[in-house]
Amino acid sequence: MTIKSNLVVYNTLTRKKEKFEALNPPFVGFYVCGPTVYSDVHLGNCRTFISFDLIYRYLLHLGYKVRYVRNITDAGHLEGDRDEGDDKFSKKARLEQLEPMEIVQSYTLGFHHVMRAFNTLPPNIEPTATGHICEQIEMAKEIIKNGYAYEVNGTVYFDVDKYTKTHHYGELTNRKLEDLLENTRELSGQDEKRGRLDFALWIKAKPEHLMKWLSPWGWGFPGWHLECSAMSTKYLGETFDIHGGGMDLQATHHTNEIAQSQASHHTAPAKYWLHTNMLTVNGVRMSKSAGNGFLPQELFTGNHSLLEKGYDPMVVRFFMMQTHYRSTLDFSNEALQAAERGFARLMNALKTLYKLKNGTHSSINVEKLIASFYTAMDDDFNSPILIANLFEAVRIINLIHDGKETINQTDLEKLQTTMKTFVNEVLGLFDQKENNNDGKALETAMSLIIEQRLEAKNRKDFATSDKIRDTLSSGGIIIKDTKEGTTWQLES
Ligand SMILES: [Zn+2]
């Protein structure tokens, strides 16, 4: 079965836009490198997962049957990308005096919570590294058998030198071997590995190491790169359609994933490689060390020195969608506030659209408008252009509302359905206030309480009216008496 679409995607591997042709339509195998769950997910990671959520949603909208796999790294991720330093989980576990799996559980729950707040769809499979140790050992064995890896003292290294004799190791980032070597430190007498670019598939565990498994090479744990190769092969096959991740993963993690697949089963893992760009704050790259990084929760509450106020997760999602996933995204108070106004305008226009009365004929070209939504998304998921075209629709909706343009019934229904589809289903944006039933229930309860308090005041029962005010206040609800009546708000 073929899917009719004009979708074009930018493939990092070929450095150009290519027509998207699924290997086995209507099925699409889609793998995204997930979070390392030893600390709170930061906003840069959120951007990556929100971008791939948009891509996933659009593929679904086009009619593809997507198997979306996003892993959880809960073992083997060392502090240095090149097998140096301590295991991130063990280190954190020692610091906090917890079991490593307690850390994993706590941050996995936190990650899911944030992903739900941003209204991302869950992947179909969310495999963990610790749940796939056997598959990783088998893959390492296969790579050794094929002559592309060697063992030294309980650690297994991938032999990059041997690999480069038959393959282009730096093909994903289009870098020559000499350049890669130039950026790698010389080996010292202490090093076990033979080549400067060699990386560990399996690492021997020191006696004090907390997370370790028995392998043919003794007690140890898998290298970080191996898990994605083992899990993507298991769930999507030796070659699948799309592999995604943040652009910081290209040079090492993804380059090594390709090498591992080629060395174990002689095929490239993915047809299309998609990478998301990074976040900056006021023009400076967001990072923990620069002190300009904030967590999603801080962005929602506004509890951060760089933020003037908090923002609804939907506003943040809208804000992110206003920039193409391959461009850098700059956070600033002004940009967030502009996004908040834009988001409100879009949501209001959607409401207006459902109140419009149709005429007998259309003075506007609805087909052309709808086609422009598809053209934008078909061009490598260009959400900023889609949003610009949606705002053209907003302008038209307001003109119809003001009686300056007319629309017939068929066109009105078509516009309603398509706008709703692109805003709610493709962009994944909802008016939280409208959908939040808690908000409605609270509103109802509060108007009743305010009425009761007013009645108490009218009969000069100030003890009761004060008690209502104080009880609400202790629960975080502040009420104010104004000339126009009593208003209430949640304590911020
Ligand atoms: Zn990965």
Predicted pLDDT at 274 = 98
Is the confidence at residue 489, as pLDDT, over 90? no
420 pLDDT higher than 50: yes
C-alpha 143 to ligand 1 mean position (Å): 18
Cα 60 to averaged position of ligand 1 atoms, centre (Å): 23
Among 124-133, 197-206, 241-250, 300-309, the least confident range: 300-309
Q: How far is the CA of 106 from the centre of ligand 1 (A)?
A: 21
Residue 145 pLDDT exceeds 80: yes
Whether the pLDDT of residue 434 is over 80: the answer is no
CA 70 to centroid of ligand 1, rounded, Å:
9
- Tell me the CA–centroid distance for residue 227 and ligand 1, in Å: 7
Q: Compute, in angstroms, the gap from residue 35 CA to the centroid of ligand 1.
A: 9
Domains of the chain, start order = 8-276 (3.40.50.620), 297-433 (1.10.730), 436-490 (no CATH)
Write down the pLDDT at residue 161: 94
269/261 Cα distance (integer angstroms): 6
Ligand 1 centre from 224 Cα, in Å? 8
Least confident of 8-17, 42-51, 299-308, 368-377: 299-308
* CA 264 / ligand 1 centre spacing (Å): 17
Cα(207) to centroid of ligand 1, in Å?
27
Query: What pLDDT score does 76 carry?
Result: 65
Question: Tens digit of pLDDT for each residue in 350-399?
Answer: 999 999 999 999 999 999 999 999 999 999 999 999 999 999 999 999 99
pLDDT in tens, 70-120: 999 998 655 544 455 566 666 777 777 778 888 899 999 999 999 999 999
Range in 72-76, 249-253, 478-482 the model is least confident about: 478-482
Q: Which segment of 82-96, 129-143, 196-210, 295-309 scores lowest on mean pLDDT?
A: 82-96
Q: What is the pLDDT of residue 315?
A: 97
Gap from CA of 130 to ligand 1 centroid (Å): 14
pLDDT for 381 equals: 98
Q: How high is the pLDDT of residue 440?
A: 64
Average pLDDT over residues 424-447: 78
Residue 183 has pLDDT above 90, yes or no: no
User: Which range has the worst mean pLDDT, 68-82, 247-261, 293-307?
Assistant: 68-82
For β-strands 279-281 and 485-490, DSSP reports them as: unpaired
Supply the pTM of this predicted model.
Answer: 0.86
Q: Who surrounds ion ligand 1 at CB < 5 A?
A: 33, 228
Ligand 1 centroid – CA 370 distance (Å): 37
Highest-pLDDT range among 86-90, 305-309, 421-425: 421-425
More confident residue, 85 or 235: 235
Averaged confidence pLDDT in the chain: 91
Ligand 1 center to residue 225 CA distance, Å?
6
pLDDT band at 437; cut points 50, 70, 90: low
Higher-pLDDT residue of 314 and 185 is: 314
Q: 249 CA distance to ligand 1 centroid (A)?
A: 8
Q: What is the pLDDT of residue 476?
A: 81
Cα(261) to centroid of ligand 1, in Å? Answer: 13
378 contacts 6 by C-beta, under 8 angstroms: yes
253 alpha carbon – ligand 1 mean position (Å): 6
